Structure 1
Amino acid sequence: MKGFRFLLLCAVAYLLLSSVAAVDTLRHNQTLTDGETLVSSGNIFTLGFFTPGNSTYRYVGIWYANMSVQTVIWVANNQNPMNDRSGVLKIAEDGNLVIVNSTGVVWTSNVSNAGNDTSVQMLDTGNLVLSSSSNSQNYLWQSYDHIGNTFLPGMKQGFNLKTGQQWYIQSWESLNDPSPGDYTDKLENPEFPQLIIRKGDEKHYRIGPWNGVRFIYGGIPLTTGKIFSPTMYSDENEVYIVLKTSSESITARTFLNETGVLQQYYWNQQAGQWIDVLSMQQDVCKKYNLCGNNAVCGSTASSTCRCLKGFTPKVPQKWQMQDWSDGCVRQTVIDCEKEYAFMKLTNEVNLPDLLQYSVNNSMNLQDCQAMCLSNCSCSAFSSLQMIGQGSGCALWFGDLVDLRADTDDGVVLYLKLLPSEIDSGGGSNKKRRLVIAVTTSVVLAILVLVPLGWYSRRTARRDLRGGNMFTSQELGHEEELELPMYDLFTIKAITANFASSQKIGEGGFGPVYKAQLETGQEIAIKRLSKNSRQGLNEFKNEASLIAKLQHRNLVRLLGCCIQDEERMLIYEYLPNGSLDSYIFGQHSHLHARHGSLLDWKKRYDIILGIARGLLYLHRDSRLRIIHRDLKASNVLLDNELNPKISDFGMARTFNGEPVEDKTRRVVGTYGYMSPEYAIDGFFSIKSDVFSFGVLLLEIVSGKRNRGFCHPEHELSLLGHAWNLLNEGKELELVDPMTGKEYAKSEVSRCIQVGLLCVQRHPKDRPTMSAALSMLDSENIILPHPKEPGFYTERSLQEFFSANDAPSTCNEMTVTLLEPR
């Protein structure tokens, strides 16, 4: 009896040592031969040898346990199959998991310095892991890092930014051959992720992009009802998506088949089969960019494809033959000198592919629109805040690629077009055309009758005044305005008939000439150009406003000339020109000659002078005035480099308390305009405060806000200054031309006040009275500024291609934006 028990114990021990059929772990000195398996502890997954389909080869793989249909989810030696059943899976002497047969090593986990205390375990998640006994939770190798054609809940699909590893799905060559096939499903663009299915290098299908909450695409990407839900993880080391199921009891998988179709399945236990929940490429429009560039794919009764509004088929003959591959082109070629607006496409198209794009997760809708308007190549933008619960902004440049009709996913795309292209329409616009016709008739009548009456009154008054003075009624005001009138003959004589040698500059209004009166006084003559985007209204506005203003920090208007077709304003001549020539050095000889004069003391005096002039306009003048175009080129310097604010053609008046108003025509210069004004047309005294803050930071730094470039980031001057202040390094902003001798506390205070003035929201900005007090006092404790408006100012061309040459920073100034 004792002998029998001994033999029984030996037999049990032998079975435990030689066979691991009932365990999930393989250790040193243990082997798994063909016909044996490792089974996860919950009896969910099995690791063993198998033969796929009609093949005769043997592989080591993982499949679901206890299913009537063998479903393989991972293969080890998919590129090196075995011809017979001599294969063995074991832990090698160097600690790696290996497959060997009669010919030698067939496959290895290939981990360097694995150690001699490793083991491999089959987990219930379907992950096969190699770890050391001293630290079993720190995997030395795992099958999850080497995805095949099946993506399981818990797997990562994306990037390891630190090591360069990428996790992606790859199809089998065929059902009988698990070697890598032609199709891959990869997460691309780490900063704005989207899934791309490719055949080789050719794109076949696109899912996304990810907006921070979900993938944006037709309501179906990896979000199939109550079964699947995706989660995106992102940090400085990794960006990846993980697919989860709504319940642990659900067995589900995503599968890329040998024809490149991405399918999602769940296991129906009662039916004993896999249920196809979704095939991603389920209709013709799922083919990548089927309709070509700038065209929308959406099957209709008349056609599969249509051009975006404002576009037309590139090759109409092919289009008629149902060949849309050439796509569409703009009906009107983009002209960078023209003004553009945006057509809002809500639930009409998906977001285009990310070929030439920019994305910023901190931008709001206003920032995004302003940036797209300021870049000639920008075609469209989308505010991700309007999609689900995401945030941020994306811009597209050049052609818009892979557009599909999208009617229910909450996508909002803003397409840049000419205003006339947006307003044009079909039968639904009959009412609009009727209104336009009536309005046109009224306007024509006004244009005929009003000038006749105005000319009669003007002639009568000129007869009475002898042509020497004119009233402000001609400028749209009721009271008498005693402003000297210069005749055209005199102006031509003292400018040598507007000789180029007399010309000293040119702005949005027109050219400026220097001349000298018979009295010896030097004057500057600003002549309205026929090609100017400003007109008689701006001329009248400036003449009527500035004539009433008297302040040492405002330029002085001496008179005007209105004769024949000429419109001119006569100013005091300021010999040192505009401030921008000094701080930006666009004229190298001026910068070399005067730059040293603009030490910190002089710059500080200029800042205070501009602040006092602006405060006078807002609070102390006879007419309360919002300038609306404060910038470095509109600040002139006298003999002693005292600043004088000029150019009041865009100014607006207000009475009593500060106001917030909306204009139908946004005017000014990008880089200085506040967000609420540049985007929505809302202006107030806080708009001027924003411009002042920009100008203050430009004076300190010697750099333009518009077109600012930094080798280490893509922020605007405002964003750069804000970051430096947060890091306690604000003095790094100071222009080297300022010199090394300056009061650090004074400079720091100026930078902080500048940033307070350029905060995104108007309510957060100080008034000019408060700003001047903060600048002029050392004892005031300043609040910390919030993030500035237009925080980012990217060199957008760097997004066009990773292989492009470094981009350059070019300034684009817009002085007039027509009604949107």
Structure 2
Amino acid sequence: MVILLFLCLTTVFHAKVVNAQVLGDTLQQGELMNATNSLMSSQKKFSMGFFDGHWGRYLGIFYNDIQFDPKPLWVGNRNAPVNLTSVLSVESGSGYLMLSTDSSVNVVLYNSSTGFNRTVTLLDTGNLVLIEGGVTLWQSFDYPSDTLLPGMKLGVNHKTGSVWSMTSWLNENDPSVGAFTLDWDPKGSGLVVRFRGEVHWTSGKLRNNAFENIVHDVNYKYMNHSDAETEDYFSYTVVHEDAHLSMPDSPGWKLTHDGNIYEHGNVERVIAAVDDCYGYYRKGSKSSPVNNTAGCELFEQPKCRNVMLKFEAQTGFFSNSTDIKYSTDDHITGYSDCKSKCWEDCDCIGFMTNEETECIFYRGTTNTKFHNEDNSNRIYILTTDSANPSHNNKDDDQIQELLELDGYSVANIELERHGINDIKFFSFISIAAATRNFSSDNKLGEGGFGPVYKGKFQGKEIAVKKLSRKSKQGISELKNELILVAKLQHTNLVRILGCCIHREEKMLIYDYMPNKSLDLFLFDESKRAELTWERRLSIIQGIAQGLLYLHKYSRVRIIHRDLKAANILLDQNMNPKISDFGLAKIFMHNLSEENTSRVVGTHGYMAPEYAMEGIFSVKSDVYSFGVLILEILSGRKNKSCYNVEVPYNLVALVWELWNRNAALELIDPSLTDSCIQHQFLRCVQVGLLCVENCPLDRPTMDDVISMLANDISADLPLPKRPANYYGSMSSSHEAKQNNSSQNLSANGLSITTMEAR
């Protein structure tokens, strides 16, 4: 609702300029510009004209390109709206730059001296300049509004005493001066966002073209000019990444009415999430991590507030009005002021602004409910990240159960209950910086959980698994993986570094695996040859060791339930790491099996008793491991194929060849020169033992490791007919078995295809 309203209003702003008659890029002294005409920069990058706001008419500079935000990036009369007949002119007698009507002067932009032959020109940098004799007398860049364009300054002129500072709008539709400012701090050599003069956020020092607390972007070139006698300021330019050429048509940085900094018109490109500083810090709180949200300043927080609380704009009304007290304060005038006052009041559950001049606060009890209703008042209600008062959602409860994240009580209690005390919570801004704001160039792939990105954090390469809103998995899987993997430490298990929860964004952070996942090598003809026999045998043994640890030697017995080639990651030395524990289950040591009504996993890898009846045990993982062994040996997928006569899969093919003493026909052609035949046959036999139909007949992982270490196949038990066996097939059809396959996953981290049965 809020987004639609925003788009509606901003489109009106832009239309006022688009529909006006263009006078060119320059207004001569004595000429008038009214609401029916406008200026356009020479290369048509920027336009300037009047637009209508809540309180009257304003003069604004806009991006002329429709791909950018249609709201103005500079407003000349923010606190002094003019009437419908006002015009902009360089006054013919004095040369003053002003907004006026026939009867009075409304706003004077420049009146320092009298002069003639002056012009005002809109440049292709977005700067409006008043010029006389080639000398710039006045420029809009010296009076920033809420947008910082390349070439603009933030700082101080020591000679004149002028200060270059950005100020937010009062609210999303009122360009009046708002509550937040963005300034350059010469002493700290960084940027500072203040709310009514109080520091809320700092960028950290500018070093080597990067700020400590700002998402680094190689396309930005920052500059700090510092001279005690002249000027001390910050500015930036934008360069083409390849050619390093100036690119003046940057969208610029926008300071929003709620204190955040984005690229103008692109809320996905976060420069600083200042609004998220609410709730993150309490002075003296031992549970608040120091670097939880990059740049947020320590300040006193009400004990009743925490990071999971946020204000959400909704339309509707509160029920049980007798339990709600209304109060107004006409000394505060904007959204941020109202939000701040409600935040400080532990009884406040929401607020509304009345024509943006006062606040109406709502106070209620636990019985107070909010009811959504279209075409009603827009009220900012205080909700948790997991739910709003009018909804009941299963995932919401699970979020609240685990996370009031980034170091707060519920998360700590939940994690400590599971014996986890050292999990790291990463701030959104730091992860955005590490992944270059989730750049498509850094995207490793996409799976059932969501997209996975490569990043670099404090010199270390990381992989970021981001829960997609469209994901079949949910917060329960994220919680499961966080708790399980944080407790596990083994050389053949992927290592989780921490997590990041930011509003709707939920992410897990892992060690980056440069060779990505096993399936990318195994089922790709161009890469399969890199998996020599020695390497494949090492991978099989490593996976077996990881499973043995899960089943027997970890602090709790764990059933993975989704073991497959796509979930085996490979480090720089091609060592295997079992990943994706979203579907894993903690299993009581005194139980032999469990039953579930929710069967999840990947077809072809699921044991029959689990797929058919929901019964799972350590032997379920053994079955999946057996399938995986056969895939590694043959370079073929176990996905179902169809004969003219009977359906078959890889397991059935191996069984048929084994019974005919022809198992060597399975050897991946790329292994011809490196394969040791008796080792190969031993692995085939172990694989068939693992996929037997009856779980009791399958070996344990202890047995499997012993079998793999035994160099004589004759000492192994003879396998019985496997599960999912469909019947015999002709050898001619076996020869036609397709050994090529498309990639199962596009990256190396937890790309799981979940299919419920």
The answer to whether the superposition gives a TM-score over 0.5 is no
Whose Rg is larger?
1
TM-score band by shorter chain is 0.3 to 0.5
Query: What TM-score, normalized by structure 2, do the two folds share?
Result: 0.43
